[in-house]
Amino acid sequence: MATLPERSLIDKAADLIRGAQYLAVLTGAGVSAESGVPTFRDKDGLWDKYDVTTLATLDAFLADPAFVWKWYDWRRTLIVKVAPNPAHDAIAKLEARMKLAEKGFALITQNIDNLHRLAGSSDPIELHGNIWKVRCLKSCRKGAAPFDLLDSPLKEIPPKCPHCGGIVRPHIVWFGEMLDPEDIRRAFEAAAQADVMIVVGTSNLVYPSAALPYHVMEDGGKVIEVNLGVTGLSGDADVVLTGPAGEILPKLV
């Protein structure tokens, strides 16, 4: 069993959260690891086993949509079987408490697995998209906005746009692509308002997400990191809680 941080560190983080007028939570793949969803950069992570350039770029998709879709279909069949873990539940509880106290709250996630919503988080800002949504590759009028495609496994690969019959693509931000400007706006607005941000289970290497904790700190806010290991943020965060998110976050709540 993993060693948990000292009680005094948990208390320090809990005091910061209790005093917050606006709490932001930023999550990465580590928050879903205890549900059984693979992370990206850990040992045996997805980018350890698979080549990003053949799976997570528009060029790769255009070269072989069926190949890329088979990989996403595999990830969807894995994700459909898993459930939120105590870390997701704790984040949903924090939101409920902040709202009950009429304080501000925002959840920003880099995850595409939808587990925060399943745990009861009301409005996560999904910076990198959602694996259950697709959009028309040709951006036909009706299929341009993301829509649900929930079949798992998929009935046909590559799946077709119900409106124009063209191919749909996963509503996921691939390498080299821009994030949705509205998601970026909301995330940076949350960071500007937050006096405390909890950063959970991310290597904090991918921008612009990785800049968010620094925005909070620049404005005098405090950052609490919850992670199994050490990241580039660990030396800058106000409180670093080392251990599994599914054990630490319920203690904080």
Which residues contact ligand OAD (rule: CB under 6 A)?
28-30, 33-34, 39-42, 45, 56, 110, 128, 173, 201-203, 205-206, 226-229, 231, 244-245
Q: Which is nearer to ligand OAD, 5 or 201 (CB)?
A: 201
Selected catalytic residue, list 116, 128, 171, 215 = 128
For 165-200, give the DSSP string. SSBEEEEEPPTTPPPPHHHHHHHHHHHHH-SEEEEE
Closest distance to ligand OAD from the beta carbon of 213 (Å): 12
Answer yes or no: 88 catalytic: no
**Hey, is 98 helix, strand or coil?**
helix
Q: Which is nearer to ligand OAD, 146 or 195 (CB)?
A: 146
CB burial of residue 90 (10 Å; 0-12, 13-18, 19+)? buried
Closest distance to ligand OAD from the beta carbon of 10 (Å): 14
Closest distance to ligand OAD from the beta carbon of 220 (Å): 25
Q: Which is nearer to ligand OAD, 39 or 106 (CB)?
A: 39
CB burial of residue 211 (10 Å; 0-12, 13-18, 19+)? middle
Q: Which is nearer to ligand OAD, 168 or 241 (CB)?
A: 241
Cβ-closest residue to ligand OAD? 30
How many CB atoms are located within 10 Å of the residue 15 CB?
12
Cα 100–Cα 90–Cα 40 angle in degrees, nearest 5: 135
Residues catalogued as catalytic: 128
